[in-house]
Amino acid sequence: MVQRQLPKIPELLELMQFKRLELDGTKRRLEGALTIADLRKIAKRRTPKAAFDYTDGAAEGELSLARARQAFEDIEFHPDILRPAERVDTSVEILGGRSELPFGIAPTGFTRLMQTEGEVAGAAAAGAAGIPFTLSTLGTTSIENVRAANPGGRNWFQLYIMREREISYGLAARAAAAGFDTLMFTVDTPVGGARLRDKRNGFSIPPQLTVSTIIDAIPRPWWWFDFLTTPKLEFASLTTTGGTVGELIDSAMDPTISYDDLDVIRSLWPGKIVVKGVQNIADSKRLIDRGVDGIVLSNHGGRQLDRAPIPFHLLPHVVREVGTDATIMVDTGIMNGADIVASVALGAKFTLIGRAYLYGLMAGGRAGVDRTIAILRAEIERTMQLLGVSSLGELEPRHVTQLQRLAPVAAPAARRVPTRARA
């Protein structure tokens, strides 16, 4: 028989501890976000549809993005038991410097349209976390202001080759003068991809007011207040900002970009140079043989060529062909610290996050970017501890299996011709 008694008030008070009410709405929202997916939900509520869809969407049917994310879900970890990893070292040496975490912030365009703090929030958060921040050619904060926001940290610059080459050369010179240590030469955007969400939303720079945008703005007055009461958007390179994103890219970028352009930029740039947007083994080998400092396996977050190769699937094949000493980085589809751990285990020296950073930015400005980094940091540390590794250098391919969902169709066997027909 269970012994019964009347509840004792002191004991009840010990059991019922009421959580302190957080009056800061932004802090309250961000504390409740436990994953990047949670930040995405907050971002979607707080950001006008056109701006959110520009971040969230990809090209055409968005198959490349969906497949990239699925590839990270389709992995199996193989932990070692009885190997204590009470403390883990998440730091890495990358491109001549230190990063406290095995990821940096990827270049993103039109960032202040997502949330008015834009690249300043990203650069400051990256500096505080000890990771690199990459400014896009199509960024909405100047090279010099990004440097001011992250004066003691590592700043990288992503460069497009423009139709007017002198614009690109001038940007590279400004970035070098501002102390940016790495240039990310981007090769996957000779023309703009077909980003259908943007077309359907009528997304343009600057935003155009229509009946639908006004209706969409009603439950998000804070976004419009911030947009209308902060300095006018400034782009790192474009002198004109009218039109859709695709129109801007097509008018500015040059589809004739070639290895000659890479050679010119290498002759001008004093720091490390990385080629971003590599999507096959042959190009990876050719670039490493030509002496670039690193490559980024990337399909531009699925925003250019739909049905492009999955960077995470390509990673182990490239590492096997070019060697483990080459600096191979990867992006596209990373939404969890476990994705980053798996990438490092399969040979990536570093990873880049784009949408994950922007979801945090839209959810809460600088504090939201800090929350993104904190979430990923905790996931990385926990995954490493559960695998039984204390440092990134202990991660090996044996820790990860890529499960097969999409596999190439075997070539059909040659059709046998009857002897009589051949005679």
> Which residue has tokens 């198959």?
63
Asked if 130 contacts 106 with a C-beta cutoff of 8 angstroms, the reply is no
Range list of β-strands (E), 210-322 = 272-278, 294-297
Alpha helices in 74-164 (DSSP H): 111-114, 118-129, 143-149
* Residues 29 and 369 sit within 8 Å (Cβ to Cβ): no
CA neighbor of 339 nearest in space, from 312, 307, 321, 314: 312
Q: How many angstroms separate the Cα of 374 from the Cα of each of 62, 93, 148, 362, 370?
A: 28, 20, 23, 16, 6
Exposed, middle or buried: residue 337 (CB in 10 Å: 0-12, 13-18, 19+)? buried
How far is the first Cα of the chain from the last one, in angstroms, to the nearest whole number?
Answer: 96
- Is 300 in the active site? yes
Q: DSSP string of 227-258?
A: HHTSPPP--SS-S---SBHHHHHHHHB-TT--
Structure tokens, 291: 């002496």
Query: How far is the C-alpha of 154 from the C-alpha of 106, rounded, in Å?
Result: 13
3-state class (DSSP) for residue 70: helix
Residue 270, phi then psi, degrees to nearest 5: -85, -15
* Three-class secondary structure assignment of 335-390: CCHHHHHHHHHCCCCEEEECHHHHHHHHHHHHHHHHHHHHHHHHHHHHHHHHHCCC
User: Strand 103-105 vs strand 97-99: parallel, antiparallel, or unpaired?
Assistant: unpaired
Tokens at 281, concatenated: 């083994």
Q: Which of 300, 313, 317, 399 is catalytic?
A: 300
List % helix, strand, coil for the chain (3-state, nearest 5).
45, 10, 40
| Positions marked active-site | 300
